[in-house]
Amino acid sequence: MNLADMTITIDKQKALETYELMKLIRLFEEECASQYMRGLIRGFLHLYIGEEAVAVGAISSLNEDDYIVSHYRDHGHALARKLDPNGIMAELMGKSTGVSGGRGGSMHLFDVSKGFMGGYAIVGGQLPIAVGLATSIDYLSEDRVVMCFLGDGAVNEGYFHEALNLASLWKLPVVFIVENNLYGMGSHIDRTHATGHNLYLSADEYNIPATQIDGMDVLAVMETAQPLIERTRSGGGPVLIEANTYRFVGHSMADPGNYRNVLEIDNWKEKDPINQFIDYSLSQNLFGPDDIAVIDESVKQVVRDAVEFAEQSEDPEVESMHRDIYG
């Protein structure tokens, strides 16, 4: 499926918002890399560059009171959910004004007011939490769903199978989004998965409807996610979407990515989700070059403001070290 084949329709406002969110994620992540090299962001840093269409396409299809649970590569999901960029950057720099009070860092963004119930560093560790949230929704008879993002590596974890089994048995309102970027850290999917490039087939064992889509195509993500989300919301039980995507950078800032060849990377960059959406929008007269220029400058300023806010924010007080820790 490609953009030209879409049956979904969007207006100018939706197109501009979609472009703005993807561009914000891209520039924010590039700035994070710069701040990491300056030593202002420490620890692990996993960037979402190249995968923007998955987060924006899927999350834009949710209601405001739906829940989102993410993994360690969570900046893009947080920005797509419209968490405050200032608070995200402050969190990455370990400042008290961060969305997690400076205690979580890159892999543990959190904002309950947005239904963003955290990024989780343990591979697959978010899956039981997503099922727990869905159990709460079911018990309270709420009109909500949980969207749970996971990487291809998490499909090999026991958490994955336990979560899908229980979600299916209890018909829980969970939408599982597998972001298949082909590599679990440095191991190619052909070396780690018996199903090869068809991870969505893993859901068959648990009688969960599943499909595979082009995760570099934001409209394809929207077109697939919207009806499946509503199916789940209306009591149809869990669904799984495998989005084939690609990270343009290493697994983390510590990873030079030498296990990938230049030709492979260049081939995927030709499918850049932002450029694809620009080309489509221009061809459909959804917006023009002037609109792009305005958004680009606006987003650059948002990122600059986020860095300034984070740099000027205070570190957490030492006395608060044990706050929010339960024993």
Q: Residue 193 has what pLDDT?
A: 86
Per-residue pLDDT tens over the stretch 102-130? 999 999 999 999 999 999 999 999 999 99
Q: Judge contact between 90 and 98, C-beta under 8 A.
A: yes
Q: Residue 327 has what pLDDT?
A: 55
> Lowest-pLDDT range, 80-94, 150-164, 249-263?
249-263
Tokens of 201: 């087939």
Q: Which of these, 308, 326, 324, lies nearest to 95 by C-alpha position? A: 308
C-alpha pair distances (Å), 321 with each of 25, 95, 310: 30, 13, 19
- The domain defined by 12-309 carries CATH number 3.40.50.970: yes
Q: Judge contact between 44 and 72, C-beta under 8 A.
A: yes
Residues 6+ apart with CB under 8 A from 276: 3, 53, 216, 217, 218
The answer on pLDDT for 1 being more than 70 is no
The answer on pLDDT for 4 being more than 70 is no
- Enumerate the domain spans of the chain: 12-309
Task: Enter the pTM of the model.
Answer: 0.94
C-alpha pair distances (Å), 1 with each of 159, 212, 222: 31, 10, 12
- In degrees and rounded to multiples of 5, residue 241 shows phi and psi of -120, 120
> Lowest-pLDDT range, 85-94, 136-145, 258-267, 289-298?
258-267
Per-residue pLDDT tens over the stretch 13-44? 999 999 999 999 999 999 999 999 999 999 99
Residue percentage of the chain with pLDDT more than 70: 97
162 vs 194: CA distance, rounded Å: 18
50 vs 42: CA distance, rounded Å: 22
